[in-house]
Amino acid sequence: DQQVKQNSPSLSVQEGRISILNCDYTNSMFDYFLWYKKYPAEGPTFLISISSIKDKNEDGRFTVFLNKSAKHLSLHIVPSQPGDSAVYFCAASPGNEKLTFGTGTRLTIIP
């Protein structure tokens, strides 16, 4: 039972354009959401997060949007850069330290 779903295994975007990565969740108890970025042969690293009391959080080129009624969040990267090519994991927490991760989306930025 996959409580956090990333339905797009891969995404290719041209450099300079917007990248949009999507994530859906099923557990209504989740109230904190995070995005992690993973390069090959490295562990995931924290990118950005959002609490359920907000619907948007922005950090430089990265913005996360949360739609609680749809149980959907998205990560926007603009403008996309070659260094953004990586696997992106969506994660959710019910307010404790336990994170449930999605299956990941491989983003490729085309120069």
Residues that bind another protein (CB under 8 A): 2, 6, 34, 41-46, 49, 89, 91, 97-104
Cα-trace Rg, the chain: 13
Q: How far is CA 41 from the centre of its chain?
A: 20
Nearer to another protein, 42 or 69 (CB): 42
Euclidean distance between CA atoms 98 and 111, whole angstroms: 37
**Min dist. Cβ of residue 83 to another protein (A):** 19
DSSP state of 55: S
**Min dist. Cβ of residue 108 to another protein (A):** 17
Nearer to another protein, 65 or 101 (CB): 101
Nearer to another protein, 15 or 59 (CB): 59
Which of 59, 44, 27 has the alpha carbon at shortest distance from 104? 44
